[in-house]
Structure 1
Amino acid sequence: MYLHIVLMAPHTPISPEFLPKLNLAFRRIRKECSGIERFEWVPNFSQSSSRYSHALLSVFTTQTALDTYRSSEAHQAMLDAIAPHIQDIVVLDSLLEESL
């Protein structure tokens, strides 16, 4: 299993109008990209990194599934929807041990 986390620092607080666009992009990704075990938008409650207010938390079955997702049109559409709102990102990709 492969963990893919993207912490996001928005330019301004995330507006309620943005969420339907994000939900649409997420539904498309789940429909078009196989090998996704978990794919969700989560708030960051950490006081030490409050600039990064939200994250994309995802788990893929294989490295190939993660690579396929990254090169998909659905992923690009999500990036196009998110990019105007985001000032900075931090990406973590890691192998998840089965025992976790």
Structure 2
Amino acid sequence: MYLHIVLMAPHTPLSPELVPKLDHAFIRIRQECPSIERFEWVPNLSRNSARYSHALLSVFRTQDALDAYRESDAHQAMLDTIAPHIQDIVVLDSVLEANLP
């Protein structure tokens, strides 16, 4: 399994008008990228990195599945929706060991 985390720092707080557009983009990703095991948009509750207000958490079955997601039209549509509102991102990709509790 492959873990893909994207921390996002918006220019300003995300507007209520943007939320339905993001929801639509996330639904499309789940529909068009069947190798995603888990895909969540979550708020950052940490006080230590508050400028990164949200994160996308994704788990993929294989490296190929992660690569296919990155190249998908659904991923590009999500980027087109959110990129104008994001000042900075931090991406973490890692292997999830199968034997973890």
Mark yes or no: TM-score above 0.5.
yes
Return the alpha-carbon distance in structure 2 between the equivalents of residues 40 and 18 of structure 1.
16
Q: How large is the RMSD of aligned CA atoms in angstroms?
A: 0.6
The residue aligned with 1:76 is 76
Give the TM-score normalised by structure 1. 0.97
Q: Which runs of 5+ in 1 are unaligned?
A: none
Count of residues in correspondence between the two structures? 100
Secondary structure (helix, strand or coil) at the match of 1:3 reads strand
Give the TM-score normalised by structure 2. 0.96
Measure how far apart 1:99 and its partner are.
2.0
1:85-100 superposed matches below 5 A: 85-100=85-100
Q: Deviations over 1:52-99 (max 9, x none)?
A: 010000100110100000000100000000001100000000000012
**Letter of the 1:13 counterpart:** P
Moved over 6 A (4+): none
Q: Deviations over 1:19-72 (max 9, x none)?
A: 100110011111111210110100001111001010000100110100000000
**Letter of the 2:91 counterpart:** V
